[in-house]
Amino acid sequence: GAIGAELAQVFARFGSQVTIIEGADRILPPEEPEASQIVTDVLTAEGITIHTGQFASSVSHDGSEFTVTVGDKQVRGQRLLVATGRGSNAPALGADVLGVELQRGFLPVDDHMQVVPGVYAVGDIAGQGAFTHMAMYQAGICERAILGQPGPGADYSAVPHVTFTDPEVGSVGMTEQQARDAGLTVVTGSTPVPSTSRGWIHKVGNEGIIKVVVDADRGVLVGATSVGPTGGEVLSGLAVAVRGAVPVSTLKNMIYAYPTIWRGIEAAIQDTGL
């Protein structure tokens, strides 16, 4: 996952020998496969050992080091980080007294974050993503609802998130597979960051890609991924495009400043052939 990849790289750059054990068939499984591959290549080049498609079957500690059994192998180390995320503790909070049925372990809320009259929930417990920016977004909606102020309800069609590895991995909306699973007529386009003007200037550490996912029937972006030295920053414009359903024709004919990684968005849009 994101935290495991981020901290693995930090520890490795401080001089530690690091091994990642990932149960999925690739690291960063929620991201586009291209993004996972780029980060895998970078981490491997930095000396990190990665085991994918494998689970730890046992862990022991002899007082000086941990031994993790993975399949028929054993991985030893002085420190063990378990970065598997956290589950909902709604049942332990006594959510049953509200008379509502939990959804995937989370509290069900309406568009204005209300669980039942007079009770609101924001953040992780609302089940829309364990991100600080999600909690802040929902808190604003909740505040308006409580104070009786006008404002739109929650819209999760363009939730951005960033994995702060180097390169950064930013994504918003649907991945290509999610869009296909949703029955959309999908067209994608991409461009490698090194082919952009700023990416070429950047040289070392310019690994990355910009990928867009288009609903061809509507002619709008439904998702995008930005991997690169400033992947999270480039993502902001893509998030606006997804949230605002900006026509691909508009994005295709915009002026993109030179020399920036942003110009890769134009190239990715052109790569769709639309």
Read off the pLDDT of residues 102-117 as tens digits, 9 standing for 90 and up: 988 899 999 999 999 9
114 phi/psi in degrees, rounded to 5: -90, 130
Burial of 152 (0-12, 13-18, 19+ CB in 10 A): exposed
CB 138 within 8 A of CB 130: no
Residue 93: its pLDDT value, please? 79
Nearest to 165 by CA among 17, 44, 55: 44
pLDDT given for residue 86 in this prediction:
83
pLDDT computed for residue 259 by the predictor: 94
66 secondary structure, DSSP code: E
Residue 228 parent element (H or E): strand 220-228
* Residue 256 amino acid letter: Y
Which 3 state secondary structure label does DSSP give 192? strand
Determine the average pLDDT of the residues in 40-55: 96
pLDDT of residue 74: 94
> How far apart are alpha carbons 98 and 266 in whole angstroms?
50
56-101: per-residue pLDDT in tens? 999 999 999 999 999 889 999 999 999 988 888 888 877 878 889 8
Cβ neighbours of residue 145 under 8 Å, at least 6 residues apart? 112, 113, 114, 120
Strands (E), 53-125: 56-61, 66-70, 73-77, 114-116, 119-120
Please give the backbone phi and psi of residue 32, each rounded to the nearest 5 degrees, phi first: -60, 145
Query: In this predicted model, what pLDDT tens digit does every residue of 200-255 receive, in sequence order?
Result: 999 999 999 999 999 999 999 999 999 999 999 999 999 999 999 999 999 999 99
User: What b/e readout covers 153-177, taking b as 16+ CB neighbours within 10 angstroms?
Assistant: ebeeebbbbbbbbbbbbbbbbbbbe
Q: Could you tell me where the DSSP H helices lie in 127-217?
A: 132-147, 176-181, 197-202
Residue 165 banded pLDDT, cuts 50, 70, 90: very high
Query: Can you list the pairs that 121-127 forms with residues at least 24 positions away whose Cβ atoms lie under 8 Å?
Result: 124/86, 124/88, 125/88, 125/90, 125/93, 127/88, 127/103
Please name each of the domains of the chain with its CATH number. Answer: 2-77 (3.50.50.60), 91-147 (no CATH), 164-271 (3.30.390.30)
Whether 171 has a pLDDT exceeding 90, the answer reads yes
Instruction: Return the beta strands (E) in 78-133 as ranges.
Output: 114-116, 119-120
Residue 134: CB atoms within 10 A of its CB come to 20
Structure confidence by residue, pLDDT tens digits, 130-155:
999 999 999 999 999 999 999 999 99
